[in-house]
Amino acid sequence: MNLIYKNLLTIVALLFISLISCSSNNDKFISELIKKMTLEEKIGQMTQVDYRYLKDKSDIEKYFLGSILSGGGSTPPTNQPSSWVDLYNGFQKEALKTRLKIPLIYGIDAVHGHNNVLGATMFPHNIGLGCANDKLLTQKIAAATATEVKATGLDWTFAPCVAVAQDERWGRTYESFSEDPKIVTELGVASTLGYQGRTLNKNSVLACAKHFVGDGNTVFGTGTNWYKIDRGDVILEEKELRAKYIKPFKESIKAGVGSIMISYNSWKGQKLHGHKYLIDDILRKELQFDGIVISDWAGINEIDQDYKTCVIQSINAGIDMNMVPGSLNPDDNSYDDFIRLAIESVREGSIPMERIDDAVSRILRIKKKIGLFDNPIKSPPIKNIVGSKKHRNLARESVRKSLVLLKNNNKTLPLKKSGKKITLVGTHADNIGYQCGGWTIHWQGGSGDITPGTTILDAFKSAVNDSNDIHYSPNGDNLLDPDIIVLAIGEKPYTEGVGDRDSLTLSSDDKRILEKVKKSNKPFIVILISGRPMIVNDALNNSNAFIAAWLPGTEGEGIADVVFGDFDFTGKLSMTWPKSMDQIPINYGDSDYDPLFKFGFGLSYE
């Protein structure tokens, strides 16, 4: 035993020495490279542009651009895996034409699967995964997403979102795992490990914990334009900010997350993108985050009316890479404006060169860790990786586990697979776009067959013994004479501030369909497709069973699996369900906590 123990100690010591040596070599490589770089080359590395808004591909070489991204809907003309690899390699070749041949890093919002890519597996959004509350499942989903991202040649996903949503009116509620910081923290760490692995290396997809910090608890009505809450102000004291909102980032850093994105919101009136205390003092120094601090989409622009002031304040606050995505509007600030003003500010002494060198070293260090200097050009994708059967089965499992059964009178569920006529009602029953929600192929999502998948209707037809037992009436006008009705209703897709709402009641169309179903005097089940709890008292009270299905993604079979009893309901509410709009915001721990359904509620067949 002593010999085995000594051998193990020797192996551990050698691995430790190897890691130290590798780290030392990387640091030497980075420091030597920075010594060779001009100011222009350094500022270029700190600049990220959406490929749609590149004025010319040669600008990558001209401005020494360090990063390209694809925002929501920013896809190749032919949206297939091989086209993404070709797009990536075309840009990378431009970067390799530069004097120092520094490769660029390519980022994308792969937030519920590789959701910009046609045919990719779309998993449930985070709110559903929070109700499943399964760390291993969440890690597997992130790993599967990373595999699909790698198959298209890309390097970096702007996920996970570790916001702790406190107000259901917020349009990003579904991007949050829970109102409970413990669930958010644990699933955020699981996601990070899924994307990156235990250490950042050539097999990793760079993860990005977002948005630092407090974006789940902004004051309603303090935003501008169509942002009523998304870009508002957080007025919490620092103790609560640390305990509830900084904690998920702290644990993600311990798990090795390689990048962190700054939030649009303010803290006590000061925009986060220019908040030196929160970014430099807390995030970088106190929490010892040594990865890339990146802005959100044009996030620095809201610091001040003067763009040069925005540039100076954001960089000095600790932002390493600025997402200057670009625009078709010639009056908007573009990447060449950012580069010009940053260079000018350094030469004037408004931004210290030490801050520039620190930012660039962080960017280059990450690029080195994930193997970009060694293998900048990507190979053609392996077929059948994106949207693979294995990944779709994982998504189907995640749908099953995310569903929450809120009502089941007289054991209406599970439904029988034979001998019963079932009429499905509502446009959500046969709409992949509605199932997937926002951040699906397009920024705001879409309607209909926007990507391959299985709708609830198709899943029901496959689940029963005779598909003729399933009838579909989108608007409820032709119900026939069913034994039971399944009503699929809910929200249409949205993202960010577009989804900020004063009211969370059902749409007028859904209410009309509900009235038709009620008048039929047939028993009915409601499947609610939504990105948050809604005010659905009428539908809930009159239905025989009610399911919160959230935004399940492309694999509708997961719903049929549970509805027809092949699996039991296991999901529990990760968000409190309010009785009325007057109660919102409502969260467990409130002094007057009296919800319709408490945090953690969820029925099962047992």
For residues 562 and 566, give the distance between their C-alpha atoms in angstroms, rounded to a whole number: 6
The neighbouring-strand residues paired with 421 are: none
For residues 469 and 486, give the distance between their C-alpha atoms in angstroms, rounded to a whole number: 13
Q: What single-letter amino acid sits at 586?
A: I
Cα-Cα-Cα-Cα dihedral sign, residues 486, 487, 493, 496: negative
pLDDT at 346: 98
The residue behind tokens 């041949």 is 101
Measure the CA angle with vertex 195, ends 561 and 447; round to 5°. Answer: 50
pLDDT at 333: 86
pLDDT at 44: 98
For residues 271 and 498, give the distance between their C-alpha atoms in angstroms, rounded to a whole number: 20
Out of 155, 230, 496, 555, the active site residue is 496
- For helices 181-196 and 135-151, the axis angle rounded to 10 degrees is 40
What mean pLDDT do residues 277-290 have? 98
pLDDT at 17: 56
What mean pLDDT do residues 461-471 have? 98
User: Would you call 296 a catalytic residue per the annotation?
Assistant: yes
What mean pLDDT do residues 413-418 have? 98
Q: Percent of the chain beyond pLDDT 90?
A: 92
Please name which of 244, 179, 256 lies closest in space to residue 214, comparing C-alpha atoms: 244
Out of 167, 175, 179, 296, the active site residue is 296
* CA dist 23 → 32, 199, 301, 582 (Å): 14, 12, 36, 55
Three-state DSSP state, 265: coil
pLDDT band at 329 (very low <50, low <70, confident <90, very high): confident
pLDDT at 70: 97
Residue 371 above 80 pLDDT?
yes
pLDDT at 224: 53
Q: Please, what's the b/e burial string for 127-143 (b: 16 or more CB within 10 A of its CB; e: otherwise)? A: bbbbbbbbbebbbbbbb
Domains in the chain with CATH codes: 37-369 (3.20.20.300), 389-583 (3.40.50.1700)
pLDDT tens-digit profile of 89-131?
A: 999 999 999 999 999 999 999 999 999 999 999 999 999 999 9
pLDDT at 273: 98
Token pair of 481 as six digits: 């004479």
- 4 vs 342 pLDDT, higher one: 342
pLDDT band at 281 (very low <50, low <70, confident <90, very high): very high
pLDDT tens-digit profile of 35-67?
A: 999 999 999 999 999 999 999 999 999 999 999
Residue 222 above 80 pLDDT?
no
Q: Are strands 270-271 and 266-267 parallel, antiparallel or unpaired?
A: antiparallel
pLDDT tens-digit profile of 495-542?
A: 999 999 999 999 999 999 999 999 999 999 999 999 999 999 999 999
Q: Percent of the chain beyond pLDDT 70?
A: 95
Three-state DSSP state, 537: helix
Q: What single-letter amino acid sits at 228?
A: K
pLDDT band at 404 (very low <50, low <70, confident <90, very high): very high
User: Would you call 496 a catalytic residue per the annotation?
Assistant: yes
pLDDT band at 23 (very low <50, low <70, confident <90, very high): low
What mean pLDDT do residues 322-336 have? 86
pLDDT at 328: 72
- What is the C-alpha radius of gyration for the chain, rounded to an integer number of angstroms? 25
pLDDT band at 14 (very low <50, low <70, confident <90, very high): low
Residue 166 above 70 pLDDT?
yes
Token pair of 139 as six digits: 């890690």
- 432 vs 19 pLDDT, higher one: 432
Three-state DSSP state, 402: helix
For residues 130 and 573, give the distance between their C-alpha atoms in angstroms, rounded to a whole number: 8
Residue 225 above 70 pLDDT?
no
Residue 241 above 60 pLDDT?
yes
* Range in 6-10, 13-17, 300-304, 405-409 the model is least confident about: 13-17
pLDDT band at 22 (very low <50, low <70, confident <90, very high): low
For residues 222 and 170, give the distance between their C-alpha atoms in angstroms, rounded to a whole number: 12
Q: What single-letter amino acid sits at 212?
A: F
